[in-house]
Each structure stands twice: as C-alpha cells, then as structure tokens.
Amino acid sequence: MSDLPIITTMLEQVSWVPADPLIHVLHLTLEPGAAGTPPHKHPGPMIGYVLEGQLDFQMAGHDPVTIKAGEAFFEPYGCVHLRAANGSQSAPTRLVAMIVGKQGLPIVLPPDWVDGEAP
C-alpha cells in the first residue's frame, strides 16, 4: 500500500487571469428550492465543485445543465452567469467555488461590467 494520495483530475482549463489576482475559496449552501444570485459576472474565472445535491446551472450562450455531487464546473472570465439554483425542493446543495478575483473589486459584479485590463 502506498502512502501517496490517489489523484484524479477533475478539470483542466486554460484561462486569462487578472494581474495580481486575489483568490477566493468559498463554501456555498443553497437551501432547497433556492434560486441563487441574479445574473452577474466575476472579475476572473471561477471553478466550482458540487459536494452535495445538484446545481441547476447556466451561462449566457450555453444550454442549462445540471451539475451533480462529485462534478466540477468552470466559468470563464467575462461570461455572464445566468443561473446557479438548487432545483431540489427537499435537499440542500453544497459546493466549493474558487474565484480568481481582482484586488479592490467585489467577487460578484453586474452583468454589464467591463474590465479595461482583459484581452
């Protein structure tokens, strides 16, 4: 038996990130039936992992998807995040999100926010 961990790659993604990024790691709980936040952007890319339950998820220009416990997802820089809701009326959804932020900016921005630094 090895003392080394078993490593499974969940997601690999090339992405632009802001200069001098501020990394945020968040634990979120959506109560049963929670609609989540209104449409918005983040100041950098976001990676999420559903720990429990399921997440009804949609980005602008993409079909809605359901992300289940044990699955990872990615929001590229500049996308408009339309929906992240708990479709279950009986069980919570828990997830961990890592947002690459920008110093001096909140992590949730209006959908029409434009960054002068980005390519």
CATH at 93: 2.60.120.10
Cβ pair 96, 26 in contact under 8 A = yes
Q: pLDDT tens digit string along 20-70?
A: 899 999 999 999 999 998 999 999 999 999 999 999 999 999 999 999 999
Whether residue 46 lies inside any domain: the answer is: yes
Whether residue 87 lies inside any domain: the answer is: yes
* pLDDT at 119 (0 to 100): 67
Whether residue 90 lies inside any domain: the answer is: yes
Residue 68's domain comprises 22-102
Whether residue 119 lies inside any domain: the answer is: no
Specify the number of domains making up the chain: 1
